[in-house]
Structure formats: structure tokens, C-alpha cells
Structure 1
């Protein structure tokens, strides 16, 4: 049984890498299970089981809907029972999702039975995703001094992104692995991806045994209600939700936008977006801790919006690829720059609840943006998607600026108090 680490006071602390290396590994392994089935799941439902693209889309959306619905409960559990326990629950739920997928791929249940098991797997992963994202982010914040919260969020965020990307890459290789194993082992690509979905979080559970548990912060004051937390963090959450429309627009539609213009490099644009997203965290991981006003977040949103608007009017594929990279750079910094004022707006004992509700704004954007963009594409063309998303990101500057103005006012009041 591991012992909780003591709460850390503000000021110098041990190396962030030393503190967060095991939590980062745990979260990375857990979120590999989110990426592993991405490539094969829609194909399994659409082509193999024969339900078509509409049902496949609904199956994929189930996970995001479950995550959105369970965010408030996940945050409460993490605050009351500890972030380490919340992450452990997320790992278990993720492994269960892989088990459901594996049974769907192996048992002779027919298309309806297999679809039911896949839906159960999506529900389990929806719950697991909430615990891993919210619990993992709060875990990293609680393990360091509060003045390092932004850097911790950036660090754990890279682990999350790497885990999803690695899982997606390995899941995409599942078909080739299945072909290599035949005829010795008769497993199709979907079953191989399901095994990875199950095994990766189980490996995370092993490392979680040795990872430090964060302190459970207590307070003499009555805990804030859900409504009070929403009122405290709605500005940064609204800003992040509007910014997330840009993320969804690029990741969901940039390839199709390239195809409609006769460009065959849409995959490079996505890769450029992802690479810039990761690279930005390296030199600017602590920018939200050093910020003394809204200038950094306004610049990050300007980079995101600027990239989207250039994507709208780009005259060549390489300019569009550069614009996608600029968008990824801006989006990468937006998350921590708005998360920090959100978590500083509530008592530390309710950090996870604030993070859960803040992350819920991304879930809403992920649910709303694709269908709205589909309507825009059908009526005004794929390029117009980036114009509308760019306008939404520019609108995010208003609540983002207000969030930082209020944060600085509150910190000024706290520092001047006797």
C-alpha cells in the first residue's frame, strides 16, 4: 500500500520530471487504450458487421457523450477519494472496454450481439476517459506546488497526447499483425486492437502501484456546490470550448478539405498540427505559471485563429500545412493557459471538480462541432469550416481575457490580505 506524499508548499520543489515520471507513464499507458481502437472500430461496425456509416458514427459518439455526462461525478470522486484512486478506476474501466471489444470480435454472437458488446465497450471507455483525463490532470497538479500547476498540466498533457497517438499508431498496425500471426493464431485486426486496448491500461495499473498518491486536500469550509464551481470557472471554460472548435475542425475536416481542392497532402497537414501541438509544450510548458495577465492566452488564441483563417484562404497545400502547424501550436498552449485560472478560482480541495467541468467544455465542442461543420461543408464548402472556426476562436478571446483579469484581481487581493 503506497503512502500519500505530503502537500507541497509554494516555492522550490524537486524536479518536475522526477515527481511526474511515473504518473505520466501510467496516464500514457491508460490512454493508449483510447487510441488503439480508433482506426479499426468504425470499419468493424460499418463494413464487417454491416451497419453502415451512420450507426458507426453514433457508436463512436457514444464515448464522448458518456464522458460528458459523467464529468461532474468523476471530479467529485477524485476530490473526495483521491486522484490516484480516480486514475486507477479509469485504468480498470479502460481495460474493461478492451475486454468487451475482444469478446465482440471473438464470440459467435452475430452482428447485433457484437454491436451490443462494442457499445458496452464505448460506455466503459467513456467512463474511463473521464477518470483518466480529469483524475490524471488533477493528480499532476496535486503532486507539485500550486505555482507549478501550469507546467504540471503541460507535462501530463504531453503524456496523454503521446499515449493516444501511440495507441492509434499501434492499432492501425493491428491488421498487419493479425496477417503475420496467421495461421498459427486466428485473430483478426479488430481482436488484436482489442487486446492492446485491454493490456495497455493493465500495464498502467502495475506502474500505478509504485506511483506516488497525491494528498487529499481538506478544508474547514463547506465544499462549493456544482453551481458555484460552474459560476467560478465559466469564463475559462467558455474560452476553451470555443477554442476547441478549431481543434475539432482541423482534426476532423482538414483531410477532406485538401481532397476537395485536389491536394493529396491532407495527412501531412494533420501530422504538422499534431507535431506543433507536442513541440509547443517543450519550451512553453510553464508559460501559464509565469503569466501575469491575459497577453499569453490572447497570443495563443491569435495563433490558433490565424492558422484557421489561413487554412480558409490558403493558395497552396504547403501554406495550408504551415497554417495547420500554427493552429496546433496555438491550441497546445490554450489548454494550460485557461486551465490555470479555472483551478485557481476554486478551493484546492475541489481542483478535480473544476478540471472535470473545464474539460467538459471540450466534450461539448467535440459533440457539436462535427455535425455543425458537416452542415457548413454541405452548404458552403469545406473551406468555410475554417472561417467559422476561426471566428469562434477569436470570440474566445473575450472570456479568456476576462478569466485572467479576474484571476489577477483575486491574486492581488490574496497577496494584500494581512
Structure 2
């Protein structure tokens, strides 16, 4: 028993040394997530639609880097992808500082913010699947569900901590402080990655094309994308939503969202293996819808905060629940591409949510953005029911 416990602790420690790269990357992303929409709208004087478009540029470049990332991971191993991402994160800090320097020239400042968001997307595209695949190669496929869950905790926990930290840093030091911290963390992440041994695919000849893999994981990815609309709406617009109703501390919603997200991953870590991915996804999408409706009909900041927490709890297991199934739909030699392709759909979700929700806010009113988001997630719930029904119909035939 002692040896078993020691092995378990050793595996957990190894996982942490890989998913820490995810934490660093998404902490840097979170630093500017809460402050840039307000900076673009209030300081530079651009519309909410423009603010949403600029924020969403990150997800556009992430989209295009996913396929390349999967190819690098399957062909050369995850280490080069992680190193590339850390360099890119450091560069985002440099351009963020330049954008802030030109804040009195809105067009120039916005142009550098566009570069910053595109670089952030490149960094996210390369870091998205890399630590997961690196950990799977290091500790074995039997730990895949745990690895994805740990990676998600690192991802959204870092976003939540980074978002709250970013507001505090921006208040005291401006975007200069966020830029400098981004540079330092990117360099430290790069140096740590350099010390770790790379892992490569043992059977590269069995690797399938990215687009063939993408077709296999697409049903799970579309469901994920619809579920991601709720998170995208909170992460991009919650501070502006609070400002609209003259509530205070909107960034706290991101922290509560992240806290309940992490709690969901830790408390319900075994439900995917026990009940299956589709059933877990259905339950989570339902909870997320309830959380978004709570925000939509909130009459004060405290109720909205509760809604953000419920949304985080609902969103917590959607990615691993469907992700494990996506990975199982391809051969082990194509898992890098499978995770990259599956991750594309959350990029699509986050990419289109900014401008679409921005349009809803600009033309129909800020108060309608969360009813709209709840409707999108509810569509994901319907798709999950369809996937479950299709799975049930396949079982007799396979038997």
C-alpha cells in the first residue's frame, strides 16, 4: 500500500512539472484579460464591438497554430512547442508595453494591441496540447483523464488568478507592470522547459493527417465549442457588465468562476470514468446554463457572483469529459493532432464569442449578453443529448 501511495504521489508530482507550463502561459493570458476591454473602450475610446474583436484576435491566431502545433508534437515532440510558446509570451509583454506608451494615440496603441493579441494566440496555440502530450508520454496513457483534468485546473486556475492580479497590477503600475511581468514569466518558463527531456512519438509512420483526425473529433469539439460560449462571455465582458450596472469588482467573478472550476475538477475527478463522458457533459452543460441564467437575471453583484461560480462548476468537466473520448477515437501516434484538433473548437468558441456578444451588447443592450450566452450553451446541451442517443444506437450494432 505504501509503495502504491508513493507511486501515485510520484505520478502527481511529475504531472505538475509538465502542467506548470500551462499555468505560466494562461496566467500571462489572464493578466491582461480583465483590463484590456476597459482600456480599449474607456481609455482609447473604441466601441465594445472593437474591444471584443481585438480580444478575440488571440483565438484566431490560436486557431491557425493548432494544426502546426499537433504536427510538431507528433513529429518532433512537445518540448519545441513549449519553448516556442514561452518566447511568444515574452514578446506579448514587450508589445503590451509599447501599446501603453502610445495610449495618447489610440490608433497606434490599438495597432500594437492587435500584435499583442496575435502573439498571445500563437503562444496559446503552441502551449494548448503540448504539456498534456508531454505528460502522457512521460507517465503513460492510463493517466490521460487525470492529466487533462490537472491541465485544466492549471489553465483556468491561472486565468482566474491572473485576471485578478492583472487588475491590481494595472491599477498600481499600468499596463507597464503587466508587460514586464509577462516578459519575466515567459523567460522563466523557457529556461525551465530547456532543462526537461523531450519525448517523441515511437511510431511516427502511423500518424494520420491532421484533417482526418479533425473529422473524427469534430462531434465532441462542436459540443465543447457551444459550452465554451459561457466562459467566453464571462472572461471578456464581465467587467464591462458590472460597470454597466454600476456594480463593483467584476474581476472577482473570474476568480470565483476559476475557483469553482478547480473545485469541480478536484471533487468530481472520477465521475468521467464512472459514468462516461457524454453523461458528464450533459450534466455540466445543464449546470452551466443555470449559472448563466443566474447572472442574466441577477439584481445585484452578489447574485451575479453566485451565477459565475455555478457557471464555473458546470464548465469544469466539459473539456476532459469530451476530450478523453476524442483521444480514444484516434491511434496513440495521432494524439497530438487529436488534442490540437479538439482544442480548435474551444478556440472557435472563444474567437466568435467576442464579436458576436459585442454585437449583442452594442445593438440590443448589455443586459442581453448572458441570456444569449445561456441559449448557446443550451444548444450544446441538446447536441450532447444527440451524441448520447447516437452512441446508444451504435452499441447494439457493435455488439
Q: Which of the five TM-score ranges fits, normalised by the shorter chain?
A: 0.7 to 0.9
Q: Structure 1 residues 411, 170: closer, same or farther in 2, change over 3 A? A: farther
* Matched residue, 2:290: 306
Q: Structure 2 residue aligned with 1:400, among 367, 384, 388?
A: 384
2:386 & 2:372 partners in 1: Cα distance?
23
How far off is 1:340 after superposition?
Answer: 0.9
How far off is 1:15 after superposition?
Answer: 3.5
2:100 & 2:363 partners in 1: Cα distance?
39
* Matched residue, 1:67: 62
Secondary structure, counterpart of 1:214 in structure 2: coil
1:167 aligned onto 2:162: yes
Q: Structure 1 residues 177, 90: closer, same or farther in 2, change over 3 A? A: same
* Matched residue, 1:287: 271
Q: Is the 8 A contact 2:34 2:235 kept in 1?
A: no
1:324 aligned onto 2:308: yes
Secondary structure, counterpart of 1:205 in structure 2: helix
Q: Structure 1 residues 243, 209: closer, same or farther in 2, change over 3 A? A: same
1:29 aligned onto 2:29: no
How far off is 1:94 after superposition?
Answer: 1.2
Q: Is the 8 A contact 2:57 2:351 kept in 1?
A: no
1:73 & 1:269 partners in 2: Cα distance?
34
Q: Structure 1 residue aligned with 2:46, among 35, 44, 52?
A: 52
How far off is 1:190 after superposition?
Answer: 2.4
* Matched residue, 1:213: 198
Q: Which has the higher helix share?
A: 2
Q: Is the 8 A contact 2:277 2:325 kept in 1?
A: no
* Matched residue, 2:188: 203
* Matched residue, 1:349: 333
User: C-alpha root-mean-square deviation of aligned residues, in Å?
Assistant: 3.6
* Matched residue, 1:7: none
1:126 aligned onto 2:121: yes
Secondary structure, counterpart of 1:52 in structure 2: coil
Secondary structure, counterpart of 1:213 in structure 2: coil
- Map 1:71-110 → 2, pairs under 5 A: 71-104=66-99
Q: Structure 1 residues 294, 382: closer, same or farther in 2, change over 3 A? A: same
1:141 aligned onto 2:136: yes
Secondary structure, counterpart of 1:288 in structure 2: helix
Q: Which has the larger radius of gyration?
A: 1
| Structure 1: gaps spanning 5 or more residues | 1-11, 179-188
Q: Structure 1 residues 211, 336: closer, same or farther in 2, change over 3 A? A: same
2:202 & 2:178 partners in 1: Cα distance?
39
Q: Structure 1 residue aligned with 2:234, among 250, 268, 277?
A: 250
Q: Is the 8 A contact 1:301 1:334 kept in 2?
A: yes
Q: Structure 1 residue aligned with 2:13, among 8, 15, 18?
A: 18
How far off is 1:304 after superposition?
Answer: 1.1
Q: Is the 8 A contact 1:149 1:289 kept in 2?
A: no
1:316 & 1:165 partners in 2: Cα distance?
21
